[in-house]
Chain A
Amino acid sequence: MNKSKNNAVIKYNRWGYIFLIPFAVAYIVFQLIPLFTTIYNSFFENYRDGLTQIGPNFVGFENYKALLESGKLLTYTKNTMIMWVMGFVPQIIFSLLLAAWFSDPSLRLKGQRFFKTVIYLPNLIMASAFSMLFFTLFSTVGPINSILVSTGILKESFNFMSHVWSTRILIAFMNFVMWFGNTTILLLAGMLGIDTSLYEAAEVDGANATQIFYRITLPLLKPILLYVMITSLIGGLQMFDVPQILTSGSGDPIGSSMTLIMYLNQHLYSKNYGMGGALSVLLFIITGVLSVVIFKAMGYEKGAKK
């Protein structure tokens, strides 16, 4: 009896493998094999010099060495990080503020659903189209310049895209507008998850709103803040659409808004597979390390045991 039941269970459980097949096949073909090909290619010299094809010749770690020694990698990493920080700092400040207001029972803000809908909207917008829109709006003949000149704030139109910091500010600002709504909603969920009796107890003890925020909300929010920060950092490392379209792939002025993925994109376009591979592997390692941090911080392993 027991044995036949066991057989039935095993018979059913075979279906577990069958249902995993589509995922496994698609994953192996489109992600795992490409990952290994990418790593493999990073050890070969393989590019076009004018009309002649060089390689593929095995060169060991030469591509990595060339990449690290050229100085470009360092510059582009710096650019990426600068623009990420410039977008992330206002993002986290506004998100904390808004989430604190939305979750504050004593404020009883009306129209919360409307505001949440509005702040999340830019997150769904096509980044390349949004960037193109900013390019037209902020171009020398665009409406922003014409407004600034006609109101007398500027004497003549300002070329936003030919100055290092105005270009970076535009990119960071777009990233900020696109992502702060998402962060607000995540933080809000975290704040609403905090036991309200803690707030009540604090209020009874005479704590004011600021004290409650710094002494209760923030410490309890730490895991979610860490999650938000690291996912944002991983997203920041992938920054591509906005600067690519705004600068038409050039990363100008003088390469100051060139990001790591734009650099990778250049190698892929020019079919410099050796250098592209090495750059991909470095990015893979960095995101891998960051993911492990999230993994640990969020305790996902617990989920696996369930």
Chain B
Amino acid sequence: MDQTNLKASKGMNVHLRRAISYVVLALITVMCLIWFYILFINSTRSHAELTRGFTVLPSTYLMKNFQNVMKGTLPIVSGMKNSVIVSVISAVLCTYFSTMTAYAVHVYDFKLKKFAYTFILAVMMIPTQVTALGFIKLIGDIGLADNLAALYLPSIASPIVFFYMKQYMESTLPLSLIEAARIDGANEFFTFNRICIPLMKPAIAVQAIFTFVSSWNNYFTPALVIKSDAKKTLPILIAQLRSADFLKFDMGQVYVTIAFSIFPVIVVYLLLSKYIVGGVTAGGVKG
């Protein structure tokens, strides 16, 4: 009797706790998504409609707002193009060369190996902002000022991506495989490109997405490097939008411009979320 009572109360407890957690999770979901919902609704409404207050249902001005933005003063099309160029090239350079660096430390045994590994780990946390001053002076000296290359070339050396690749290699790239390739007469470069890279594909995909997104979202460095309108990336245009006399703007256009910068990433994320969420933990923390 006593036993069953205890069980019942415990059962209730679990149900209650489960109910509470679902309610809290639902509220948190709303807190995360409502901003993007409002953004979407407002992008579909005309300036006149927007000044009349908020509605829950979308209107029909999305294309019209979009066309107005295209005709407007902000170079949004070239901004989009520049953002895509910088982010794609960064993702490719970063993942390829980080894998190569990890391969050097993982496969070969050389004098500076331990030093190289420890050094890269030690500098992993240095924020780019603290070297920004020297960076701006340097790109001025080597003729990369106001050049998109100054935004993607530094991604060749990415300590955090290197660390992730090294961790991944330890579990997926057996040294015996490399030796087998050598016996078959493959040279080292061929082995790296044809054996290591295909095996590392899942890790490369995850890091390519992360690099793409962080480069797409980067505002601090591009704002200091890029001066001419034709080379501005999206975050710089957003900042320009903010510093302009805000109330004179067609609000429909403002919302569409923000949507333009945010929604491409959301679409990519929703398509690939399985890999992204899994990839968050794989790099940083070890027990």
Contact of A107 (CB < 8 Å), options: B14, B42, B103: B14
Q: Give A84-127 interface residues, CB cut-off 8 Å to B.
A: 94, 97-98, 101, 106-109, 113, 115-122, 124-127
Residue B194, interface by CB 8 Å: no
The contact string, 1 if C-beta is below 8 Å from chain B, for chain A 8-48, is: 01001111111110111111011101111110010000000
Residue A5, interface by CB 8 Å: no
Distance of A259 from chain B, by nearest CB (Å): 11
Known A19-B108, A128-B235, A129-B262; judge A185-B35 contact (CB<8 A): no
Using C-beta atoms within 8 Å of the partner chain, give the interface range for chain B. Answer: 35 or more
Residue A217, interface by CB 8 Å: no
B239 to chain A: which residues have CB within 8 Å?
A: 128, 244-245
Whether B261 and A126, one on each chain, are in contact in the complex, defined by CB atoms closer than 8 angstroms, is: yes
Known A118-B33, A126-B238, A133-B258; judge A16-B113 contact (CB<8 A): yes
Whether A120 and B276, one on each chain, are in contact in the complex, defined by CB atoms closer than 8 angstroms, is: yes
Q: Which of A57-65, A71-79, A162-170, A298-306 contacts B (4 or more CB under 8 A)?
A: A298-306
**A30 vs B265: C-alpha distance in the bound complex, in angstroms?**
27
A27 to chain B: which residues have CB within 8 Å?
A: 123, 157
Whether A23 and B217, one on each chain, are in contact in the complex, defined by CB atoms closer than 8 angstroms, is: no
Contact of B130 (CB < 8 Å), options: A129, A147, A150, A287: A287
Residue B138, interface by CB 8 Å: yes
Q: Give B258-287 interface residues, CB cut-off 8 Å to A.
A: 258, 261-262, 265-266, 269-270, 273-274, 276-277, 280-281, 284-287
**A159 vs B86: C-alpha distance in the bound complex, in angstroms?**
37
Give how many A residues have a beta carbon under 8 Å from the other chain's beta carbons: 110
Residue B134, interface by CB 8 Å: yes
B17 to chain A: which residues have CB within 8 Å?
A: 107, 209
A25 to chain B: which residues have CB within 8 Å?
A: 156
**A25 vs B22: C-alpha distance in the bound complex, in angstroms?**
52
Q: Give B134-165 interface residues, CB cut-off 8 Å to A.
A: 134-138, 153-154, 156-157, 162
Whether A94 and B133, one on each chain, are in contact in the complex, defined by CB atoms closer than 8 angstroms, is: no
Whether A223 and B287, one on each chain, are in contact in the complex, defined by CB atoms closer than 8 angstroms, is: yes
* Chain B facing A: main interface SS: helix
A101 to chain B: which residues have CB within 8 Å?
A: 21, 25
B98, closest chain A residue (CB): A23
Residue A160, interface by CB 8 Å: no
17 pairs, CB–CB < 8 Å, chain A vs chain B: A15-B108, A16-B108, A22-B156, A22-B157, A31-B123, A34-B138, A38-B133, A41-B134, A107-B21, A108-B18, A128-B219, A129-B238, A245-B238, A265-B220, A283-B129, A298-B285, A303-B286
Interface residues of A (CB under 8 A from B): 9, 12-20, 22-27, 29-31, 33-38, 41, 94, 97-98, 101, 106-109, 113, 115-122, 124-130, 132-137, 139, 141, 143, 146-147, 150, 177, 181-182, 185-186, 188-190, 193, 209, 223-224, 227, 231, 234, 237-238, 240-241, 244-245, 248-249, 261, 264-265, 268-269, 273, 276-277, 280-281, 283-284, 287-288, 290-291, 294-295, 298-301, 303-304, 306
Interface residues of B (CB under 8 A from A): 14, 17-18, 21-22, 24-25, 28-29, 31-33, 35, 38-39, 42, 51, 53-54, 97-98, 100-101, 103-105, 107-110, 112-114, 116-118, 120-138, 153-154, 156-157, 162, 170, 182, 188, 192, 213, 216-217, 219-220, 223-224, 234-235, 238-239, 241-243, 246-247, 251, 254-255, 258, 261-262, 265-266, 269-270, 273-274, 276-277, 280-281, 284-287
